Structure 1
Amino acid sequence: MQDHLVFTVIAEDRSGLVEKIADVIAGAGGNWIESSMARLGGEFAGIVRISVPAENASQLTAALEALGTDGIDITLRSGHGSDNEAPGASAHLDLVSQDHPGILRDITHILSEHKVSIEHLETSVEAGSMQGGLLFKASADLRLPTGLTPAQLSDALQATAADLMADISLAE
Protein backbone atom coordinates (compact mmCIF):
# COMPACT_ATOMS: atom_id res chain seq x y z
CA MET A 1 0.00 0.00 0.00
CA GLN A 2 1.20 3.49 -0.86
CA ASP A 3 0.93 6.63 1.24
CA HIS A 4 0.73 9.99 -0.50
CA LEU A 5 2.38 13.11 0.85
CA VAL A 6 2.19 16.70 -0.27
CA PHE A 7 4.82 19.10 0.98
CA THR A 8 6.10 22.59 0.43
CA VAL A 9 9.76 23.43 0.24
CA ILE A 10 11.50 26.77 0.61
CA ALA A 11 15.20 27.48 0.79
CA GLU A 12 17.76 30.02 -0.30
CA ASP A 13 18.27 29.30 -3.99
CA ARG A 14 21.36 27.24 -4.77
CA SER A 15 22.28 24.43 -7.10
CA GLY A 16 21.55 20.88 -5.96
CA LEU A 17 18.39 21.60 -3.93
CA VAL A 18 16.04 19.50 -6.03
CA GLU A 19 18.59 16.72 -6.27
CA LYS A 20 18.95 16.60 -2.48
CA ILE A 21 15.17 16.34 -2.01
CA ALA A 22 14.81 13.79 -4.81
CA ASP A 23 17.61 11.71 -3.27
CA VAL A 24 15.84 11.60 0.10
CA ILE A 25 12.58 10.55 -1.58
CA ALA A 26 14.22 7.86 -3.72
CA GLY A 27 16.19 6.60 -0.70
CA ALA A 28 12.91 5.78 1.03
CA GLY A 29 11.49 4.08 -2.07
CA GLY A 30 9.31 7.08 -2.81
CA ASN A 31 8.03 8.22 -6.19
CA TRP A 32 7.98 11.92 -7.20
CA ILE A 33 4.54 12.32 -8.81
CA GLU A 34 4.13 16.02 -9.55
CA SER A 35 5.50 19.38 -8.52
CA SER A 36 5.57 23.07 -9.21
CA MET A 37 8.72 24.98 -8.28
CA ALA A 38 10.19 28.40 -8.95
CA ARG A 39 12.89 30.84 -7.93
CA LEU A 40 11.26 33.90 -6.38
CA GLY A 41 13.24 36.82 -4.95
CA GLY A 42 16.37 34.75 -4.34
CA GLU A 43 14.43 31.97 -2.66
CA PHE A 44 13.53 28.62 -4.16
CA ALA A 45 9.96 27.54 -3.39
CA GLY A 46 7.78 24.69 -4.46
CA ILE A 47 5.07 22.20 -3.76
CA VAL A 48 5.57 18.49 -4.37
CA ARG A 49 3.32 15.41 -4.33
CA ILE A 50 4.89 12.01 -3.80
CA SER A 51 3.92 8.42 -3.07
CA VAL A 52 5.88 6.15 -0.75
CA PRO A 53 5.38 2.60 0.51
CA ALA A 54 3.34 2.90 3.73
CA GLU A 55 6.03 1.11 5.74
CA ASN A 56 8.60 3.78 4.70
CA ALA A 57 6.43 6.87 5.28
CA SER A 58 7.72 7.61 8.80
CA GLN A 59 11.34 7.21 7.67
CA LEU A 60 10.76 9.54 4.72
CA THR A 61 8.96 12.12 6.84
CA ALA A 62 11.87 12.21 9.30
CA ALA A 63 14.43 12.45 6.48
CA LEU A 64 12.57 15.33 4.81
CA GLU A 65 12.24 17.21 8.10
CA ALA A 66 15.98 16.68 8.74
CA LEU A 67 16.73 18.73 5.62
CA GLY A 68 16.01 21.75 7.82
CA THR A 69 19.58 21.46 9.14
CA ASP A 70 20.71 22.27 5.58
CA GLY A 71 18.43 25.34 5.42
CA ILE A 72 15.74 23.52 3.43
CA ASP A 73 12.40 24.13 5.12
CA ILE A 74 9.83 21.41 4.44
CA THR A 75 6.19 21.54 5.53
CA LEU A 76 4.48 18.17 5.15
CA ARG A 77 0.80 17.44 4.64
CA SER A 78 -0.80 14.10 4.02
CA GLY A 79 -2.09 13.74 0.49
CA HIS A 80 -5.44 12.12 1.14
CA GLY A 81 -7.03 14.02 -1.75
CA SER A 82 -8.31 12.25 -4.79
CA ASP A 83 -6.71 12.30 -8.22
CA ASN A 84 -10.18 12.48 -9.74
CA GLU A 85 -10.92 15.65 -11.62
CA ALA A 86 -13.34 17.96 -9.83
CA PRO A 87 -16.77 18.37 -11.43
CA GLY A 88 -17.56 21.49 -13.42
CA ALA A 89 -16.13 23.21 -16.45
CA SER A 90 -12.52 24.26 -16.74
CA ALA A 91 -11.46 27.69 -17.99
CA HIS A 92 -8.27 29.65 -18.49
CA LEU A 93 -7.96 33.28 -17.39
CA ASP A 94 -5.39 35.78 -18.68
CA LEU A 95 -5.15 39.26 -17.20
CA VAL A 96 -2.96 42.26 -18.05
CA SER A 97 -3.19 45.58 -16.22
CA GLN A 98 -1.10 48.56 -15.26
CA ASP A 99 0.38 47.44 -11.95
CA HIS A 100 -1.22 48.75 -8.78
CA PRO A 101 -2.06 47.26 -5.37
CA GLY A 102 -5.18 45.12 -5.06
CA ILE A 103 -5.54 43.65 -8.56
CA LEU A 104 -5.25 40.03 -7.48
CA ARG A 105 -7.46 40.65 -4.44
CA ASP A 106 -10.23 42.08 -6.61
CA ILE A 107 -10.08 39.28 -9.20
CA THR A 108 -9.92 36.50 -6.62
CA HIS A 109 -12.86 38.09 -4.81
CA ILE A 110 -14.98 37.63 -7.94
CA LEU A 111 -13.75 34.04 -8.28
CA SER A 112 -14.53 33.32 -4.65
CA GLU A 113 -18.01 34.85 -4.90
CA HIS A 114 -18.72 32.44 -7.75
CA LYS A 115 -17.16 29.42 -5.94
CA VAL A 116 -14.47 29.06 -8.61
CA SER A 117 -11.40 27.04 -7.68
CA ILE A 118 -7.94 28.11 -8.83
CA GLU A 119 -6.05 25.04 -10.01
CA HIS A 120 -2.92 26.87 -11.16
CA LEU A 121 -1.90 30.52 -10.90
CA GLU A 122 1.13 32.41 -12.18
CA THR A 123 1.66 36.13 -11.76
CA SER A 124 4.40 38.58 -12.65
CA VAL A 125 5.15 42.27 -12.80
CA GLU A 126 7.03 43.27 -15.93
CA ALA A 127 8.25 46.42 -17.63
CA GLY A 128 5.46 47.98 -19.65
CA SER A 129 5.54 49.25 -23.16
CA MET A 130 6.48 52.75 -24.23
CA GLN A 131 4.94 54.47 -21.20
CA GLY A 132 7.59 52.93 -18.95
CA GLY A 133 5.09 51.79 -16.33
CA LEU A 134 4.89 48.31 -14.89
CA LEU A 135 2.39 45.71 -16.08
CA PHE A 136 0.80 43.12 -13.81
CA LYS A 137 0.15 39.83 -15.59
CA ALA A 138 -1.76 36.82 -14.31
CA SER A 139 -2.55 33.49 -15.88
CA ALA A 140 -4.79 30.95 -14.14
CA ASP A 141 -6.38 27.60 -14.79
CA LEU A 142 -9.78 27.54 -13.13
CA ARG A 143 -12.38 24.95 -12.20
CA LEU A 144 -15.92 26.31 -12.27
CA PRO A 145 -18.59 24.86 -10.02
CA THR A 146 -21.36 22.84 -11.61
CA GLY A 147 -23.97 25.23 -13.00
CA LEU A 148 -21.62 28.17 -13.68
CA THR A 149 -20.71 28.64 -17.33
CA PRO A 150 -17.53 30.29 -18.54
CA ALA A 151 -19.69 32.98 -20.17
CA GLN A 152 -21.33 33.84 -16.84
CA LEU A 153 -17.96 34.07 -15.12
CA SER A 154 -16.57 36.17 -17.98
CA ASP A 155 -19.43 38.65 -17.57
CA ALA A 156 -18.69 39.00 -13.85
CA LEU A 157 -14.98 39.48 -14.49
CA GLN A 158 -15.56 42.04 -17.25
CA ALA A 159 -17.63 44.16 -14.85
CA THR A 160 -14.55 44.39 -12.60
CA ALA A 161 -12.06 44.72 -15.47
CA ALA A 162 -13.24 48.23 -16.28
CA ASP A 163 -12.70 49.36 -12.68
CA LEU A 164 -9.22 47.84 -12.69
CA MET A 165 -8.41 49.14 -16.18
CA ALA A 166 -7.44 45.55 -17.00
CA ASP A 167 -7.67 43.38 -20.06
CA ILE A 168 -9.18 40.07 -18.94
CA SER A 169 -9.83 37.12 -21.21
CA LEU A 170 -11.46 33.87 -20.23
CA ALA A 171 -11.27 30.84 -22.52
CA GLU A 172 -12.83 27.42 -22.17
Structure 2
Amino acid sequence: MNTSLILTLIGPDRPGLVNAVSMCASQHGANWMESRMAHLAGQFAGVVRLEIDAARLEQLETALRALEREGLRIAVARGAAAAPAAARRVALELVGHDRPGIVRDISAVLARYGVSIEALDTECESASMSGESLFRARAELAVPATTDLARVRADLEALANELMVDLDFADVQGPAVIAA
Protein backbone atom coordinates (compact mmCIF):
# COMPACT_ATOMS: atom_id res chain seq x y z
CA MET A 1 0.00 0.00 0.00
CA ASN A 2 1.37 3.42 -0.98
CA THR A 3 1.56 6.29 1.47
CA SER A 4 1.95 10.00 0.74
CA LEU A 5 4.83 11.73 2.42
CA ILE A 6 4.88 15.54 2.55
CA LEU A 7 8.25 17.27 2.89
CA THR A 8 8.92 20.91 3.65
CA LEU A 9 12.45 22.00 2.85
CA ILE A 10 14.40 25.15 3.64
CA GLY A 11 18.05 26.07 3.54
CA PRO A 12 20.63 28.36 2.01
CA ASP A 13 20.16 28.19 -1.75
CA ARG A 14 22.83 26.41 -3.75
CA PRO A 15 22.95 24.16 -6.79
CA GLY A 16 22.16 20.50 -6.17
CA LEU A 17 19.55 20.70 -3.39
CA VAL A 18 16.69 19.36 -5.51
CA ASN A 19 18.98 16.68 -6.89
CA ALA A 20 19.96 15.56 -3.37
CA VAL A 21 16.32 15.19 -2.32
CA SER A 22 15.26 13.51 -5.57
CA MET A 23 18.17 11.05 -5.46
CA CYS A 24 17.32 10.13 -1.87
CA ALA A 25 13.67 9.61 -2.78
CA SER A 26 14.53 7.55 -5.85
CA GLN A 27 17.03 5.35 -4.00
CA HIS A 28 14.27 4.37 -1.56
CA GLY A 29 11.61 3.70 -4.21
CA ALA A 30 9.59 6.88 -3.71
CA ASN A 31 7.73 8.52 -6.56
CA TRP A 32 7.91 12.35 -6.80
CA MET A 33 4.25 13.34 -7.23
CA GLU A 34 4.16 17.13 -6.97
CA SER A 35 6.15 20.05 -5.61
CA ARG A 36 6.35 23.81 -5.23
CA MET A 37 9.77 25.38 -4.83
CA ALA A 38 11.18 28.88 -4.80
CA HIS A 39 14.23 31.01 -4.11
CA LEU A 40 13.23 33.51 -1.40
CA ALA A 41 15.69 36.05 0.02
CA GLY A 42 18.70 33.79 -0.53
CA GLN A 43 16.97 30.70 0.83
CA PHE A 44 15.67 27.68 -1.01
CA ALA A 45 12.16 26.74 0.15
CA GLY A 46 9.98 23.92 -1.07
CA VAL A 47 7.14 21.56 -0.45
CA VAL A 48 7.18 18.08 -2.01
CA ARG A 49 4.70 15.20 -2.02
CA LEU A 50 6.20 11.77 -2.49
CA GLU A 51 4.45 8.40 -2.67
CA ILE A 52 6.16 5.35 -1.27
CA ASP A 53 5.29 1.83 -0.25
CA ALA A 54 4.43 1.91 3.46
CA ALA A 55 7.00 -0.81 4.16
CA ARG A 56 9.83 1.48 2.97
CA LEU A 57 8.61 4.66 4.66
CA GLU A 58 10.79 4.56 7.80
CA GLN A 59 13.97 4.01 5.78
CA LEU A 60 13.18 6.97 3.54
CA GLU A 61 12.44 9.24 6.51
CA THR A 62 15.81 8.32 8.07
CA ALA A 63 17.65 8.96 4.79
CA LEU A 64 15.94 12.33 4.33
CA ARG A 65 16.96 13.42 7.82
CA ALA A 66 20.58 12.67 6.86
CA LEU A 67 20.33 15.47 4.27
CA GLU A 68 20.15 17.95 7.14
CA ARG A 69 23.95 17.57 7.45
CA GLU A 70 24.10 19.48 4.14
CA GLY A 71 22.33 22.48 5.71
CA LEU A 72 18.85 21.64 4.47
CA ARG A 73 16.16 21.60 7.16
CA ILE A 74 13.49 19.02 6.38
CA ALA A 75 10.14 18.48 8.07
CA VAL A 76 8.35 15.25 7.18
CA ALA A 77 4.62 14.57 7.56
CA ARG A 78 2.58 11.59 6.46
CA GLY A 79 -0.39 12.40 4.27
CA ALA A 80 -3.87 11.75 5.60
CA ALA A 81 -6.20 9.45 3.72
CA ALA A 82 -9.39 11.44 4.28
CA ALA A 83 -12.44 10.93 2.10
CA PRO A 84 -12.63 13.69 -0.53
CA ALA A 85 -15.58 16.09 -0.67
CA ALA A 86 -16.89 17.66 -3.88
CA ALA A 87 -16.17 21.35 -4.38
CA ARG A 88 -16.33 24.03 -7.03
CA ARG A 89 -13.03 25.17 -8.44
CA VAL A 90 -12.55 28.92 -8.44
CA ALA A 91 -9.66 31.12 -9.55
CA LEU A 92 -8.92 34.32 -7.67
CA GLU A 93 -6.61 37.04 -8.96
CA LEU A 94 -5.84 40.25 -7.13
CA VAL A 95 -3.63 43.25 -7.88
CA GLY A 96 -3.25 46.54 -6.04
CA HIS A 97 -0.90 48.80 -4.12
CA ASP A 98 1.04 46.76 -1.60
CA ARG A 99 0.27 47.14 2.08
CA PRO A 100 0.44 44.82 5.09
CA GLY A 101 -2.61 42.62 5.70
CA ILE A 102 -3.93 41.88 2.21
CA VAL A 103 -3.43 38.10 2.48
CA ARG A 104 -4.78 38.12 6.04
CA ASP A 105 -7.95 39.99 5.04
CA ILE A 106 -8.69 37.91 1.92
CA SER A 107 -7.97 34.60 3.66
CA ALA A 108 -10.26 35.59 6.56
CA VAL A 109 -13.20 35.91 4.14
CA LEU A 110 -12.35 32.57 2.52
CA ALA A 111 -12.01 30.82 5.90
CA ARG A 112 -15.36 32.18 7.05
CA TYR A 113 -17.00 30.30 4.15
CA GLY A 114 -14.92 27.12 4.50
CA VAL A 115 -13.08 27.76 1.23
CA SER A 116 -9.81 25.86 0.85
CA ILE A 117 -6.81 27.57 -0.74
CA GLU A 118 -5.38 24.84 -2.95
CA ALA A 119 -2.56 26.99 -4.37
CA LEU A 120 -1.42 30.55 -3.72
CA ASP A 121 1.24 32.54 -5.57
CA THR A 122 2.04 36.09 -4.47
CA GLU A 123 4.63 38.67 -5.43
CA CYS A 124 5.45 42.33 -5.10
CA GLU A 125 6.59 44.20 -8.18
CA SER A 126 7.15 47.79 -9.26
CA ALA A 127 4.25 49.48 -11.04
CA SER A 128 5.29 50.32 -14.60
CA MET A 129 4.42 54.03 -14.52
CA SER A 130 4.79 55.10 -10.89
CA GLY A 131 7.37 52.62 -9.61
CA GLU A 132 5.21 52.06 -6.52
CA SER A 133 5.08 48.56 -5.09
CA LEU A 134 2.20 46.46 -6.43
CA PHE A 135 0.99 43.31 -4.73
CA ARG A 136 -0.21 40.52 -7.03
CA ALA A 137 -1.85 37.27 -5.94
CA ARG A 138 -3.17 34.27 -7.84
CA ALA A 139 -5.02 31.51 -6.01
CA GLU A 140 -6.80 28.29 -6.86
CA LEU A 141 -9.67 27.73 -4.48
CA ALA A 142 -11.97 24.82 -3.64
CA VAL A 143 -15.38 26.07 -2.55
CA PRO A 144 -17.59 23.49 -0.80
CA ALA A 145 -20.60 22.53 -2.92
CA THR A 146 -22.95 23.71 -0.17
CA THR A 147 -21.41 27.21 -0.02
CA ASP A 148 -23.23 30.09 -1.71
CA LEU A 149 -20.63 31.24 -4.23
CA ALA A 150 -22.48 34.53 -4.83
CA ARG A 151 -22.12 35.46 -1.13
CA VAL A 152 -18.41 34.65 -1.16
CA ARG A 153 -17.98 36.76 -4.30
CA ALA A 154 -19.97 39.67 -2.79
CA ASP A 155 -17.90 39.68 0.41
CA LEU A 156 -14.63 39.51 -1.53
CA GLU A 157 -15.71 42.35 -3.84
CA ALA A 158 -16.69 44.50 -0.85
CA LEU A 159 -13.30 43.85 0.72
CA ALA A 160 -11.52 44.60 -2.59
CA ASN A 161 -13.26 48.00 -2.67
CA GLU A 162 -12.16 48.67 0.90
CA LEU A 163 -8.57 47.62 0.14
CA MET A 164 -8.65 49.49 -3.20
CA VAL A 165 -7.43 46.45 -5.17
CA ASP A 166 -8.68 44.85 -8.37
CA LEU A 167 -10.08 41.38 -7.81
CA ASP A 168 -11.19 38.73 -10.28
CA PHE A 169 -13.11 35.76 -8.87
CA ALA A 170 -13.99 33.27 -11.61
CA ASP A 171 -15.63 29.85 -11.57
CA VAL A 172 -13.39 27.28 -13.27
CA GLN A 173 -14.81 24.42 -15.32
CA GLY A 174 -15.20 21.11 -13.54
CA PRO A 175 -15.48 20.16 -9.88
CA ALA A 176 -12.48 20.01 -7.60
CA VAL A 177 -11.94 17.48 -4.85
CA ILE A 178 -10.90 18.67 -1.40
CA ALA A 179 -10.00 16.69 1.67
CA ALA A 180 -12.85 16.56 4.17
Gaps of 5+ in 2: 172-180
Distance, in Å, in 1 between the alignment partners of 2:2 and 2:138 is 34
User: Counterpart amino acid of 1:162?
Assistant: N
Partner of 1:92: 91
- For residue 85 of structure 1, report the CA deviation from its aligned partner: 5.3
Q: TM-score, normalised by structure 2?
A: 0.90
Partner of 2:165: 166
Partner of 2:145: 146
Partner of 1:4: 4
Dislocated runs of 4+, deviation >3 Å:
none
**Given that residues 86 and 143 in structure 1 are in contact (C-alpha distance below 8 angstroms), is that contact kept between their aligned partners in structure 2?**
no
Distance, in Å, in 1 between the alignment partners of 2:3 and 2:87 is 28
Distance, in Å, in 2 between the alignment partners of 1:9 and 1:126 is 25
Partner of 1:63: 63
Partner of 1:27: 27
Q: TM-score, normalised by structure 1?
A: 0.94
User: Counterpart amino acid of 2:152?
Assistant: L
After TM superposition, list the pairs within 5 Å mapping 1:13-162 onto structure 2: 13-82=13-82, 86-162=85-161
Query: RMSD between aligned alpha carbons?
Result: 1.4
Helix, strand or coil at the partner of 2:144: coil
Helix, strand or coil at the partner of 1:87: strand
In the TM superposition, what whole-angstrom CA distance separates every residue of 1:81-125 from its partner, at most 9, and x where no partner exists? 35x754121100000010111111111111111111100000000
- For residue 3 of structure 1, report the CA deviation from its aligned partner: 2.4
Distance, in Å, in 2 between the alignment partners of 1:109 and 1:40 is 25
**Given that residues 25 and 32 in structure 1 are in contact (C-alpha distance below 8 angstroms), is that contact kept between their aligned partners in structure 2?**
yes
**Given that residues 2 and 53 in structure 1 are in contact (C-alpha distance below 8 angstroms), is that contact kept between their aligned partners in structure 2?**
yes
- For residue 80 of structure 1, report the CA deviation from its aligned partner: 2.2
